[in-house]
């Protein structure tokens, strides 16, 4: 029985199932990443809502978190809250605009809902 031959040019992993890439990478995992589009740069830090409150009485914290973490999972920092069912003297939106600007300056991305809440909070702050 003959030993397996490596691909022309030598190197490790030159057997079947591997493809030589222009930059010298040969990995099925790398090819799978390219095929699924996971190689595109995406923002790792998001500013989004996490749900709290009771049943039928939602309350949301506005948090800075890693985009891969679960909705109610680990967060980096709480920057405010949103109470959609606020009535009377209750505040609907409380947001630390300076901290949001800090995180956006460092590359964080806001979700659509947080972006609209941010605009509403800046208008309220300007009017006050």
**If you average pLDDT over residues 84-112, what whole number do you get?**
94
Helix axes 97-105, 112-127, angle to 10 degrees: 130
Strands ordered across the beta sheet of 57-66: 93-95, 77-82, 57-66, 45-54, 109-110
pLDDT above 90: residue 25: no
Q: Which CATH class is domain 45-127?
A: alpha beta
The pairing of strands 45-54 and 57-66 is antiparallel
pLDDT at 27: 57
The pTM of the full predicted model, rounded to 2 decimals, is 0.65
């Amino acid at each position: 029985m003959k030993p397996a031959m490596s691909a022309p040019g030598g190197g490790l992993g030159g057997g079947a199932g591997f493809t030589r890439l222009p930059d010298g990478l040969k990995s099925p995992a790398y090819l799978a990443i390219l095929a699924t589009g996971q190689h595109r740069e995406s923002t790792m830090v998001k500013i989004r809502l996490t749900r709290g409150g009771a049943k039928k009485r939602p309350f949301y914290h506005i948090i800075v978190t890693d985009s891969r973490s679960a909705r109610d999972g680990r967060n980096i920092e709480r920057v405010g809250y949103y109470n959609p069912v606020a009535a009377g003297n209750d505040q609907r939106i409380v947001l630390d605009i300076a901290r949001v600007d800090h995180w956006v300056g460092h590359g964080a991305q806001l979700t659509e809902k947080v972006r609209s809440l941010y605009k509403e909070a800046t208008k309220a702050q300007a009017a006050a």
